[in-house]
Amino acid sequence: MIPFGTRLRTAMDTRGPLCVGIDPHTSLLKDWGLDDDIAGLERFTRTAVEALADRVAVLKPQSAFFERFGSRGIAVLEKAVEEARAAGALVLMDAKRGDIGSTMGAYAQTFLTPGSPLFSDALTVSPYLGFGSLRPALDAAAASGAGVFVLALTSNPEGAEVQRATTADGRSLAQSMLDRMAGENAEARPLGSVGAVVGATLADAGVDLAINGPLLAPGIGAQGATPADLPRVFGDAVGNVLPSVSRGVLRYGPDIAGLRSAAERYVDETRVAIGA
């Protein structure tokens, strides 16, 4: 299979650098005039996929908002993954899985192994049980042409107490993780398949982001960051940034034209900001 990094670079160059989250939480369902039940979930998800999957580079369903409905919610998620990929979007499953040994291997089978109903183009993972704990996911992704996005410097303020902590060699824990990602991507061209999650809301990343991989940047829109902030946060690595927007686009639903127009605005603003 063509590696995820290669496919993502092509998608960003042709469709524009934007990831739109599909986050069907209670308040958004209400804003769309939908009930907070399986019918509302299905309508919300189907509309978002119909509006965006044939034009944005990446769709990022947040697994938790589907899991809360049990097996019926997972069935909606499976259908969304299938339909989004069929329409040409790359699907990044936002599940933030992190565990050890056979458990991490089971997560890899769920999200990163072809034939699974939830097989996705990429998966968010947490490295804070040790970067080595991600090996089952990294290996499964490499075997299937998928990718992983590893939490590095997240947009939530609480993350700093762990991610900015100093290791024995003087590096921050986040920098230690980024350096391991760079090692995974060392020989990849044009872009590695191991990405980092780095919040666009950070005043200054304060780390070396040259990992030769994509940089998922949550925090655009409702959390207060804008595309204009990206060069300041990401510096020379800004060309590999994939901004992630959820409510900033989804609040224009359920009108399909409104969703598409909002996504197009973010793509245009990002291209201007990064000089693409």
Judged on CB neighbours under 10 Å (0-12, 13-18, 19+), 102 is exposed
Catalytic residue among 30, 60, 79, 96: 96
Separation between Cα atoms, residue 167 and residue 165, nearest integer Å: 7
The verdict on whether 96 is a catalytic residue reads: yes
Q: Do the beta carbons of residue 137 and residue 93 sit within 8 Å?
A: no
* Cα 111-183-180 angle, rounded to 5 deg: 70
Mark out the alpha helices in the chain (DSSP H runs).
4-15, 26-31, 38-52, 63-67, 71-86, 101-112, 135-144, 160-163, 173-184, 230-234, 247-250, 256-274
Q: Do the beta carbons of residue 207 and residue 197 sit within 8 Å?
A: no
Separation between Cα atoms, residue 247 and residue 273, nearest integer Å: 20
Separation between Cα atoms, residue 232 and residue 126, nearest integer Å: 25
Which residues are annotated as catalytic?
Answer: 96
